[in-house]
Amino acid sequence: MKNRVTAVFAVLILLVLAMQSSHSQVKWVVGGNMGLGISTSPSSADFTFGPMAEVLFGKGPAVGTEFNIFTATGTPIEWANYFKYYFSVPGSNVKPYADAGFGLVFVTGGPFFDIRFGGGANFEIARGLSIAPDLQLGPVFATGNTNFIILIRAGIRYQIP
Higher-confidence position of 11 and 152: 152
Within 10 A of 25 (CB to CB), how many other CB atoms are there?
A: 8
- CA pseudo-torsion sign 157, 93, 126, 161: positive
| CA–CA dist 33, 48 (Å, integer) | 8
Enter the pTM of the model.
0.78
> Where exactly are the structural domains of the chain?
2-160
Average pLDDT, stretch 85-105?
A: 92
- Class of domain 2-160 as given by CATH: mainly beta
Q: Mean pLDDT over all residues of the chain?
A: 85
Average pLDDT (124-150) is 89
The per-residue pLDDT for 20 is: 52
User: What pLDDT is recorded for position 35?
Assistant: 94
115, 128 Cβ separation under 8 angstroms: no
Asked if 61 contacts 82 with a C-beta cutoff of 8 angstroms, the reply is: no
Instruction: Give the pLDDT band of residue 50 (cuts 50, 70, 90).
Output: very high
Answer whether residue 23 shows pLDDT above 50: no
Which candidate, 17, 45, 33, places its Cα nearest to that of 78? 33
82-106 average pLDDT score: 92
Higher pLDDT, 43 or 80: 80
Confidence of residue 102 (pLDDT cuts 50, 70, 90): very high
